[in-house]
Structure 1
Amino acid sequence: MSDTTMARPGGPGALSHLRVLDLSRVLAGPWCSQNLADMGADVIKVERPGAGDDTRGWGPPWVEGAQAGAGADSTYYAAANRGKKSITMDISRPEGQEMIRKLAAVSDVVVENYKVGDLKRYGLDYAALSALNPRLVYCSITGYGQEGPSAHKPGYDFVFQGMGGLMSITGERDDLPGGGPQKAGIAIADVMTGMYATIAILSALQHRSVSGRGQYIDMALLDCIVALGGNQVTGYFANEKVPGRYGNAHASLVPYQVFAVADGEIVVAVGNEGQWQQYCVAIERQDLAADPRWAGVTGRITGRDELVPELARTMLTRTRAEWLERLESRGVPCGPINNYRQVFEDAQVQHRKLRVDLQRPDGSMVSTIASPLRLQGTPPVYDRAPPTLGDATEDVLGSLLGLSSEEIARHRANRII
């Protein structure tokens, strides 16, 4: 990174020596760059003047004290943009393009999710920026990748959950009420692409420490959602049997599902033979444990249609609290089905401090979820709330590019920033 630095007030994180120029918006790219920010990187988020990231307006719900209208930020935006500095820049204008090139010259990483070829038109593609900064790691995130017959198409998470196979194995069985394809409750293609992109960037940075050169990274939502189905797809490759939907059951383990109990539902996840034996003791069905038909995983899988109804009748005889106590005392993995209020009332969740409250400069609070990356020597850094639009424009342009207040004012008057 350039010797021109902007110190982080929260102290050094694992990536505090790195600067990231974030040209992405919506979710996959911002999720990636938020991971890097949590680890201490100096992340500069570039947004459109007057509008910003599309998701700023994706409310309600809104962050504390905000409401629909100019300047309001959605909680959707806040969930993926903690720890960053926001600058506004019109990259369609030559002056804006020149400032982005200068910022790239003093950065370690660029993250972008424009359509294939868009940034090349502006002279902001990898070839152009790496000529200025050979150490630059440049990560492009698109729906279908940079090449191929579909590379030009736009795409959103929902499209890839369907196209990439996830919805073919998610949802209730086709022969049961409510059966049919179902998307996941979170934008899993976006989130997983953000996570895979994080891994790719860190790998490229590690290689740079040996080679001295950065490299280009081509990330695609389609690739990532297909990769996510690895265990199902590998089975298909082996036997050419197309996996189907099992609802809340598991294709390779029984019982591994939701059971109705006297006052609700619980999850039971029996993962090995020892747990099966202990489960049968806990539910007082030693007869099932002794039955040779159910003595191995294969038998329980092939005989699930006979075994599971027997288990289901037994599980209806006690309450959720009673079953959880009995199963946990025997070491059987199990748990309640919580809504998000109940999640954050859980004693373990509270102990792990998974809620992080951050104060914005105007005094309002933004509540976010802690990073699960628990490095003990260099823990995550939570020193900046999700930024308001353009909150660091003058600071970044002045400190990094050496622009005077008069030059900044002129760019603002010309609506370049």
Structure 2
Amino acid sequence: MSALPLSGVRVIDLTRILSGPFCSMILADLGADVIKIEAPGGDHVRKQGEIRRGLSWYFAGFNRNKKSVELNLRSAEGVQVLERLLADADILTENFRPGVLGEMGLTEARLKEINPKLIVVSVNGYGSTGPYADRPAFDFIAQAMSGFMATNGTSETGPLRSAPPITDLVAGLYAALGAVAALRGRENGGPAQRVEASMMMSMMSMLAYLSSNALATGEDPVPSGNNHPIASPYGLFRASDGDIAVAPSTEVIVRKFLRELGLEQLLSDPRFESNAVRLQHRAELNALINEALAHGTQDEWIARLNKAGVPSGRVQSLTEALADPQVADQEMVLTEQTPHHGEVRMTGFPIKFSETPLALRHPAPELGGNGRDVLRAAGYDEAEIEALIAQGVLGAGSPQTA
């Protein structure tokens, strides 16, 4: 089998919590050698979420395929070790508050002295410039300030957050894309540049037609819950035994949908003859659709509608979705036997490569478990490594749990 796409790329990863580790996990999954530098005590996520046999499954799911070095960067000696590792790296990933790297002495000029070919990838809350650059950032706040939260929910519920930490994940995804693009640019003779992705701006880029309409009209979208803000009929409807999601995105599919329900004649009714008027009479149309759907079950309607070319599906709980046969076929739930924590399950790889399939090459690392090996590879001898451990600069590695 050929090498993975990023084989041979070395990443020094200073990120913690979620947005940055999601970025570096993507790079690791694609084959990069990712060395996670952790402060004494480790990434806070090691102690969060469901913990089984001493291992946070939250941490395991976002730090697979990485190595861990526990390094005290508050000491001059620790920064010197980091600089030595950076000298042979391709990418540095960090999600500190803007300016923190400079406070550590790792200014842009210093980093170029250490390694002129180093690509620096930064994930932050609002961007490194502007009036909010120094504000502390959190997913909930970025969801609120990006306009995203105001588009969710209904007039009754008010603004609603997304349950997953969506701004962390989108920013991490953009950062990984930017890192790969910067690598490609460098390979083509371009400069080794800095890449930045912020949570607020990344989320704003995902608002699609909502932003387009707001920019065109100067008006905010009306929160529409499960209804589509610019299409009708579209949303959750009620079969005899529960809800089904139906997404007729064009006039052709709307006609197919209503035909299957025996309601095609509604398209000649002045209230329903076009999408524009259907939006005005959405409640009336939805009531007629629900009345027709009440004569069949979820499974019956989903099979019938999909056969007719009308996208539809059942609202599944998360555990149902994780057990779905399509998810199993796509290998989107992975099970790994770790050497010290037993079985760990996590979501799989959404990117599929035909010739170099992605794989769990090694589980999330023990805290500091790769420190000695990484420093040996960087040219440190055993006496130097033991001295750094004795000084409290380098972690000796977590004790192994049975």
The normalised TM-score by structure 2 is 0.94
Q: Aligned-pair distance for 1:203?
A: 1.1
For residues 316 and 406 of structure 1, the distance between their equivalents in structure 2, rounded to whole angstroms, comes to 76
How far is the alpha carbon of 1:290 from its aligned partner? 4.4
* Equivalent in the alignment of 1:90: 72
Pairing of 1:116-195 with structure 2 (within 5 A) = 116-171=98-153, 173-174=154-155, 176=156, 179-195=157-173
Pick the aligned partner of 2:191 from 208, 213, 219: 213
Give the C-alpha shift of residue 286 in structure 1: 2.6
- 1:328-367 Cα distance to aligned partner (Å, 9 max, x none): 2212100011112211222111111111122322262221
- Out of 383, 386, 390, the residue aligned to residue 409 of structure 1 is 386
Q: Report sequence identity in percent.
A: 32
Offset, 1:213: 2.9
Could you tell me which residue of structure 2 aligns to residue 101 of structure 1? 83
Structure 1 residue 306 displacement after superposition: 2.7
Shift in Å, 1:238: 0.5
Residue matched to 1:6: none
Q: Which residue of 2 aligns with 1:48?
A: 39
1:29 counterpart residue number: 20
Structure 2: which amino acid aligns with 1:238? A
1:16 to 1, 7, 10: 7
Return the match for 1:230 from 208, 232, 240: 208
Equivalent residue in structure 2 for 1:304, among 278, 282, 298: 282
2:240 pairs with one of 262, 278, 297? 262
Task: In structure 2, give the amino acid aligned to 1:193.
Answer: A
How far off its partner does 1:378 sit? Answer: 2.5
Pairs aligned (count)? 394
2:349 aligns with: 371
Deviation per CA, 1:265-286: give whole Å up to 9, x if none: 1101111122112111222223
**Distance in 1 (alpha carbons) for counterparts of 2:21 and 2:112:** 22
- Structure 1 residues 346-361: aligned runs within 5 Å: 346-361=324-339
Q: Paired residue for 2:368, among 369, 387, 390?
A: 390
1:259 CA drift (Å): 1.2
Alpha-carbon distance in structure 1 between the residues aligned to 2:358 and 2:315: 29
Looking at structure 2, the residues matched to 256 and 324 of structure 1 have their Cα atoms a distance apart, in angstroms, of: 14
Deviation at 1:382, TM superposition (A): 1.7
Which stretch of structure 1 is more off in the superposition, 367-376 or 300-309?
300-309
Q: CA deviation at 1:164?
A: 0.7
Distance 1:331 1:311, change over 3 A: same
Q: More displaced, 113-122 or 24-33?
A: 113-122
Supply the distance in 1 between the matched residues of 2:205 and 2:341 (Cα, whole angstroms): 43
**2:292 matches 1:314:** yes
CA-based RMSD: 1.6
Separation (CA, whole Å) in 2 of partners of 1:54 and 1:347: 34
Q: CA deviation at 1:212?
A: 4.8
Counterpart code for 1:143: G
User: Which deviates more from structure 2 when the two are superposed, residues 114-123 or residues 316-325?
Assistant: 316-325
Counterparts of 1:212 and 1:222, CA distance in 2: 28
> Following TM superposition, by how much is the alpha carbon of 1:301 offset from its aligned partner in structure 2, in angstroms?
2.4
- In the aligned structure 2, how far is the partner of 1:403 from the partner of 1:88? 16
Equivalent of 1:110 in 92, 97, 103:
92
Determine if contact 1:19/1:107 at 8 Å carries over to the other structure: yes
Work out whether residues 37 and 381 of structure 1, in 8 Å CA contact, stay in contact via their aligned partners in 2.
Answer: no
Shift in CA distance, 158/363, structure 1 to aligned 2, threshold 3 Å? closer
Partners of 1:402 and 1:182 lie apart in 2 by: 52
Q: C-alpha distance in 1, partners of 2:308/2:257?
A: 7
Task: Tell me, in whole angstroms, the C-alpha distance in 1 between the residues paired with 2:10 and 2:78.
Answer: 19
3-state SS in 2 of match to 1:82? coil
What amino acid is aligned across from residue 74 of structure 1 in structure 2? S
- For residues 53 and 268 of structure 2, the distance between their equivalents in structure 1, rounded to whole angstroms, comes to 61
In structure 1, give the amino acid aligned to 2:46: R
CA contact (8 A) 2:66 2:364 kept: yes
d(CA) in 2 for partners of 1:87 and 1:365? 24
Counterpart-to-counterpart distance in 2, 1:187 and 1:127: 34
In structure 2, give the amino acid aligned to 1:114.
F
- 5+ unaligned residues in a row in structure 2: which ranges? 395-402
**Normalization by structure 1: what TM-score?**
0.91
Partner of 1:65: 53
Partner SS for 1:301:
helix
Structure 2 Cα separation of the partners of residues 14 and 134 of structure 1: 23
Q: Which residue of 1 aligns with 2:256?
A: 278
Helix, strand or coil at the partner of 1:251: coil
Q: Secondary structure at the match of 2:246?
A: strand
Q: Distance in 1 between matches of 2:198 and 2:372?
A: 34
Contact 1:135 1:212 in 2 (8 A): no
The 10-residue stretch of structure 1 (18-27 or 213-222) with the greater mean CA deviation from structure 2: 213-222
Q: How much has 1:298 moved relative to structure 2?
A: 2.6
Q: Structure 1 stretches of 5 or more lacking a match?
A: 1-9, 67-72
SS in 2 for 1:294: coil
CA distance in 1, matches of 2:8, 2:273: 55
Task: Report deviation, 1:292.
Answer: 5.4
Mapped partners of 1:30, 1:52: distance in 2: 13
Structure 2: distance between partners of 1:52 and 1:81:
12
Give 3-state SS (helix, strand or coil) of 2:205's partner: helix
Deviations 1:111-144 (A, max 9, x none): 0011121111212233311222111110111112
